[in-house]
Every structure is written in structure tokens, then in C-alpha cells.
Amino acid sequence: MSTPRRLLLVNGPNLNLLGTREPDVYGHDTLADVEALVTATAAERGFEVRAVQSNHEGVLIDAIHAASADCAGIVINPGGLTHTSVVLRDALAAVALPVAEVHISNVYEREAFRHHSYVADVASVHVIGEGVAGYATATQQLLDNLT
């Protein structure tokens, strides 16, 4: 059976507010801009993207579970769930797909509670603090690992 030519892009809570939420931290690009960037980056390598954003942890977990049927990997910015959600981490581990963790800001230069990521140990790619452009970097690195 061949590997699916699709990635799941997951954006967690509050990322729907990109472009207006703390632009000094997150910039002026919107979630639509992020999704377009990842879609274009993946398309350069012949991959499609299914994007999901939710402020509800269970919706994200359901999307991750579903990805095991038709995705080759996951690009995820868990937002604040990075630092709090063992169940999100467990969902990523359970589907056993390659994972790229991305954060727009440099979480290590922010509040101390942001320094720990529950996702870090299940992700093979980590892109931190490159702004929205980091999504393209994460996608490229994930695809490098897949192909």
C-alpha cells in the first residue's frame, strides 16, 4: 500500500485570531494565510493538505485520529495546549504518524510556563520562533523525512 499524499495541518485554540491577536507577538498574517502557505509548500512536493483549527481539544483529537486513515504526517501548532494537554500528545503518539511541531513565537523567550511542550517528544521536527514562515519550514522538514 502506498503512503498517502496528504498532510494534516492542526492549529489549536486562539489561532483563529491570527492577524488580530497580539500582532506584536504573532504578526499580521491570518489563519487563512497560514493554511495557504502550508498548502502551497506541500503542493510543491505533490502533497495535499487538510486543515483543521479548533478552540476545542476534542475536535483536534478527533481530526488527529482520522488522519491515521489518509494522511502521511501532521504539522501542528497546538497553541496553549502545547503546555497543558497530555491527551493531545497521546493522540499524536497513538496514530504513529510523523509530526512537525511549529510555534510562531519563540516560546523559550516568553513566560516560563510556555517552556515545556507535551508534544515535543512525539514530534520529529520542531520549528520555533520563525513567525508564520515557520509553517513552511516545518512542512518542508516533515516532507524531507517522508520522502
Residue numbers in the known binding site for substrate are: 77, 83, 90, 104-105, 114
Q: Does the active-site annotation cover 116?
A: no
Residue of 56, 103, 108, 135 marked catalytic: 103
Q: Does the active-site annotation cover 28?
A: no
**Residues near 27 by beta carbon (within 8 Å), at least 6 away in sequence:** 18, 19, 104, 131, 132
**Coil, helix or strand at residue 77:** strand
Q: For residue 100, what are the CA distances in angstroms to 21, 104, 107, 124?
A: 23, 13, 16, 6
Residue numbers in the known binding site are: 77, 83, 90, 104-105, 114
For the annotated catalytic residues, the residue numbers are: 26, 103
